[in-house]
Amino acid sequence: MDWTLLLIQMLNGLQLGVLLFLLASGLTLVFGIMDFVNLAHGSFYMVGAFVCASLTFFTGNFLIGVILAIPVVALVGVITEKIVVQQLYARDHLDHVLATFGLILCFDTLVHMIWGAQGIAVPLPKWLDGQVELFGGIVFPTFRLLIIGTGLTIAFGLYYLVNHTRLGMLIRAGASNRTMVSALGVDIQLLFSLVFALGAVLAGLAGMLISPITEASIGMGNEIIITAFVVIIVGGIGSMKGAFIAAMIIGLIDTLGRSFLDDMFKVFMSAPAAETSAPAVSAMLIYILMAAILAVRPQGLFPPKVR
């Protein structure tokens, strides 16, 4: 066993997990508190990436691009909530799914009209584009390290927000019993708008962070949103802690599966057979995990206390 490689792959898995957490935290908030299924959550991921890409080219610096893009995505989130989502709270889940699926198509087409089909490659400043040497001779890309750092900081911030502030108390109360919260005189409409915008910003930030690695492209959110749903189902819908732990587990399983499954398969089958079957199986791993957890704990690993 190559321990250096294993450590690098764990860091890669952590980085994927952090990105998934940024997406899933917003999704789980919106789903858990408002009982609203938002398939279009991934669209904020895409919008974040495109806005940030444009601002990066405009200002010439990726970090300034990110900072300026955050309020823009928040605004897009608020507008979406006001115009479309608000009309849907009273409807059932099927209507949510239909309407937000329509939103995905609208966002994809809108982005196509504004930025074109080709996607944008986002440049990084020189000091972020290289690698750093960590302990024990492990060389890791600086930017991926920055993603891990940012993600963990935000996770801690969210933990503090949810558990130690008045807003967090309302969010938790809303997740447990929102009728009671509004009966107690809390402006639930405002709370919903805030939570929705927060979710949009977190998703947008994830999109901004991934764009220098892959690129800003149409439909990028639709690819990752499925995995984000797996995360919140495994973690327990509405639970921030669950989303964090599940995101880390899924990030690690996906990355380690891609890295080591073919070697494991080669132990008991021929090399060509292993090379063909390993990618198929590793793509399924997270769904197998989800199925297993649903069978044992249908409510997820860490469901909110009262529903």
Partner 1 sequence: MLKRTLLGVSLASLMAASAWGAEVKIGFVTTLTTPAAVIGKDMQDAVNLAVEHMGGKMGDLDINVIFEDDGFKPEIGKQKTDKLVKQDDVTFVTGFIWSHVLLASRKSALDGGKFLISSNAGPSQLAGKLCHENFFSTSWQNDQTPMAMGEVLNQQGVNSIYVMAPNYAAGKNMVAGVKRTFKGEIKGTDFTKWGKDAQLDFSAELAKAKASGAEGIFVFYPGKAGGAFIKQYQQQGLQGKVPLYSVFTVDAIALPKLQAAKFEGVLGSRMTQFWDPTLDNPQNKKFVDGFKAKYGKYPSFYAAQSYDTMYLIKSAVEAVNGDLSNMDGMRAAMKKANFPSVRGEFTYGNNHMPVQNFYLREVVKDGDGTWTTKVVKTVFENHQDVYAKDCPMK
Site residues (CB under 8 A) for partner 1?
A: 2, 4-5, 8-9, 12-13, 15-16, 57, 112, 117-124, 129-131, 139, 141, 143-144, 210, 212-215, 217-220, 222-223, 226, 255-256, 258-259, 262, 275-276, 278-280, 283
Q: DSSP code of 89?
A: T
How far from the centroid of its chain's Cα atoms is residue 98's Cα? Answer: 21
Question: Which residue lies nearer to partner 1 by CB, 75 or 252?
Answer: 252
Amino acid letter at 184? L
Question: Which residue lies nearer to partner 1 by CB, 168 or 219?
Answer: 219
Question: Which residue lies nearer to partner 1 by CB, 119 or 242?
Answer: 119
- The least CB distance from residue 2 to partner 1, in Å, is 6
Helix count (H) and strand count (E) of the chain? Answer: 12, 2
- The least CB distance from residue 270 to partner 1, in Å, is 13
- The least CB distance from residue 81 to partner 1, in Å, is 27
- The least CB distance from residue 88 to partner 1, in Å, is 26
- The least CB distance from residue 261 to partner 1, in Å, is 10
CB half-sphere exposure, 295, CA atoms < 13 A: 6
Between CA 54 and CA 70 the distance in angstroms is 13
Question: Which residue lies nearer to partner 1 by CB, 85 or 230?
Answer: 230
The residue to which tokens 């197998």 are assigned: 288
Phi-psi region of 119 (alpha: psi -120 to 50; beta: other; left: phi over 0): left
Question: Which residue lies nearer to partner 1 by CB, 100 or 239?
Answer: 100
> Any alpha helices (H) in 116-239, and if so which ranges?
126-129, 142-164, 166-176, 178-183, 188-210, 220-235
- Count other C-beta atoms under 10 Å from residue 84's C-beta: 15
Phi, psi of 120 (to 5 degrees): -130, 130
Amino acid letter at 226? I
Question: Which residue lies nearer to partner 1 by CB, 156 or 287?
Answer: 287
The residue to which tokens 């989130």 are assigned: 77
- The least CB distance from residue 100 to partner 1, in Å, is 18
Pair of tokens at residue 84: 């479309």
- The least CB distance from residue 29 to partner 1, in Å, is 24
For 13, 27, 45, the CA distances from 23, given in Å and listed in that order, are 16, 6, 8
Beta bridge mates, 216: 120
Question: Which residue lies nearer to partner 1 by CB, 148 or 181?
Answer: 148
- Count other C-beta atoms under 10 Å from residue 50's C-beta: 27
- The least CB distance from residue 275 to partner 1, in Å, is 5
Pair of tokens at residue 267: 């132990």
Question: Which residue lies nearer to partner 1 by CB, 134 or 190?
Answer: 134
